[in-house]
């Protein structure tokens, strides 16, 4: 209870002059407009929803994950104690799984936290960061928070990587950091290990980040290059193909010196214990993962058929989403919302005019989504 003497009836507003203000760098950043469909979905329980807006898995995780977490919760003390420091237990499993030295891993609160920690560790005001655009927006916020200057490189075709142009930008800017996503969100563009190697060599002064959030779907990775390039960092996540977005767990793999440098600012108890338990169980069930990846692959074939039947551009990607070109995209998206299909309108992004991103789930879900999309298009006379 607040003491009555301390209670002031008038509303207290922070004083813009004498009150606390965010740091100068932070004041320049607009708050992230988190548009999640979760609230809408909960409000309309009668309709089977398709949450396809954030590239999450469309199914719950492996039953073994659920069992491991339930089992864990049956033990006293498991929640009142802090989690395993630095997720050493999970790192041991990751090290065996990838056959990579445990000293090369940093497990983080989602791979977002790995990106954030990399920016805190390596960036200062005015440092230049070259990114292959269009790209994952959250990374840009982390870099801007450090006062870094973002140099976005757009190639002529958003669905092809433009190595020549990207390398020219790197040579011109001499950045402190380079960020590519492979396969890229939202375009699906990939960077081969040879292309990643070229980036590492072009900028030995730079930390070269390859964000592999969707790598389980493509089956390709630059992890093997870690033995050749000490300036390379690969980030991975359990949020997408492993279906654990709600637990928040991911990791960075890099040279042990890079990991040590990140640990200067990293809080070793920031990853919660249920995430550690869930991730270990998920990693152990590769059969579940392979099945889900196969479902998503089959669904992409359904999308391709639909596109050629409807004579619409469906840009398939090696990840779990497709980009669909729709005239009157914002209206179609609204109509889809009404039909319980939640997607991400990317049509306002430079070079992506007219494109809407759909996460891809199982075959049965995709059949239903395509039916609802057909109905939404019919509504507009399509």
Ligand X SMILES: *Cc1c(COP(=O)(O)O)cnc(C)c1O
Q: Where are the alpha helices (DSSP H) in 205-272?
A: 215-218, 256-263
Q: Which of residues 102-121 bind ligand X (CB under 6 A)?
A: 110-112
The conformation of residue 85, written as its DSSP 8-state character, comes to G
CA distances from 87 to 61, 99, 250 (A): 20, 17, 11
**C-beta of 159: minimal distance to ligand X in Å?**
16
Q: Which one of 90-98, 143-151, 237-245, 304-312 is the stretch in contact with ligand X (CB under 6 A)?
A: 237-245
Q: Which of residues 17-76 bind ligand X (CB under 6 A)?
A: 55
* Nearer CB in complex with ligand X: 59/312: 59
* Nearer CB in complex with ligand X: 115/333: 115
Torsion, Cα of 85, 281, 52, 360 (10° steps): 130
Q: Which one of 146-154, 233-241, 352-360, 370-378 is the stretch in contact with ligand X (CB under 6 A)?
A: 233-241
| Total of chain residues touching ligand X, rule CB under 6 A | 14
**C-beta of 84: minimal distance to ligand X in Å?**
19
Q: DSSP letters of 120-147? A: HHH--TT-EEEEEES--HHHHHHHHHTT
β partners of residue 251: 107, 236
Q: According to the binding rule CB under 6 A, does residue 190 interact with ligand X? A: no
Q: How far, in Å, CA of 130 to CA of 133, rounded? A: 9
* Nearer CB in complex with ligand X: 251/306: 251
* Nearer CB in complex with ligand X: 218/377: 218
Rounded to a whole number of angstroms, the CA Rg of the chain reads 22
Q: How far, in Å, CA of 140 to CA of 130, rounded? A: 10
Using CB under 6 A, pick the residue from 250, 278, 318, 340 that binds ligand X.
250
User: From residue 122 to residue 161, what is the string marking binding to ligand X with x (rule CB under 6 A)?
Assistant: --------------x-------------------------
CA 114 to chain centre: 11
The residues, any chain, with a CB within 8 Å of residue 349's CB and separated by 6 or more, are: 134, 186, 355
**C-beta of 16: minimal distance to ligand X in Å?**
34
* Nearer CB in complex with ligand X: 188/376: 188
User: From residue 193 to residue 232, what is the string marking binding to ligand X with x (rule CB under 6 A)?
Assistant: ------------------x-x-------------------
**C-beta of 250: minimal distance to ligand X in Å?**
4
Q: How far, in Å, CA of 90 to CA of 152, rounded? A: 35
**C-beta of 313: minimal distance to ligand X in Å?**
22
Planar angle of CA 217, 218, 220, nearest 5 degrees: 130
Q: What does the longest C-alpha to C-alpha distance in the chain come to?
A: 73
Where on the chain is the footprint of ligand X (CB under 6 A)?
A: 55, 110-112, 136, 181, 185, 211, 213, 237, 239-240, 245, 250
């Amino acid at each position: 209870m607040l003491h009555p003497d301390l209670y002031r009836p008038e509303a207290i507003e922070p004083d813009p002059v004498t009150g606390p203000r965010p740091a100068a760098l932070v004041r320049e950043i607009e708050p992230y407009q988190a548009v999640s469909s979760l609230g809408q979905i909960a409000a309309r329980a009668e309709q089977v929803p398709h949450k396809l807006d954030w590239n999450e898995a469309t199914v719950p995780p492996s039953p073994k994950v659920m069992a491991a977490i339930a089992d864990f919760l049956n033990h006293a003390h498991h929640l009142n104690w802090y989690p395993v420091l630095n997720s050493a237990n999970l790192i041991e499993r990751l090290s065996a799984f990838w056959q990579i030295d445990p000293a090369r891993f940093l497990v983080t609160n989602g791979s977002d936290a790995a990106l954030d920690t990399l920016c805190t560790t390596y960036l200062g005001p005015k440092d230049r960061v070259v990114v292959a655009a269009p790209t994952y927006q959250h990374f840009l916020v982390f870099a801007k928070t450090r006062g870094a200057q973002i140099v976005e490189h757009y190639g002529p075709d958003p669905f092809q990587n433009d190595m020549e142009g990207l390398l020219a930008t790197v040579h011109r800017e001499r950045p402190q950091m380079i960020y590519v996503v492979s396969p890229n969100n939202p375009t699906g563009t990939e960077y081969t290990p040879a292309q990643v190697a070229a980036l590492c060599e072009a900028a030995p002064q730079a930390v070269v980040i390859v964000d592999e959030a969707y790598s389980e779907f493509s089956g390709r990775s630059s992890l093997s290059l870690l033995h050749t390039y000490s300036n390379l960092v690969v980030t991975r996540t359990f949020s997408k193909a492993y279906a654990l977005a709600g637990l928040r767990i991911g990791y960075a793999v890099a040279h042990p010196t890079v990991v040590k440098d990140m640990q200067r600012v990293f809080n070793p108890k920031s990853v919660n214990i249920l995430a550690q338990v869930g991730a270990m169980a998920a990693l152990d069930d590769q059969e579940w993962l392979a099945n889900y990846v196969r479902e998503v692959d089959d669904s992409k074939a359904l999308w391709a058929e639909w596109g050629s039947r409807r004579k619409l551009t469906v840009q398939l990607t090696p990840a779990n989403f497709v980009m669909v070109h729709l005239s009157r995209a914002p209206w179609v998206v609204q109509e889809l919302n009404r039909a319980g299909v939640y997607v991400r309108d990317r049509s306002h992004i430079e070079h992506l005019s007219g494109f809407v991103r759909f996460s891809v789930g199982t075959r049965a879900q995709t059949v239903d989504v395509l039916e609802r999309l057909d109905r939404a298009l019919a509504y507009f006379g399509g």
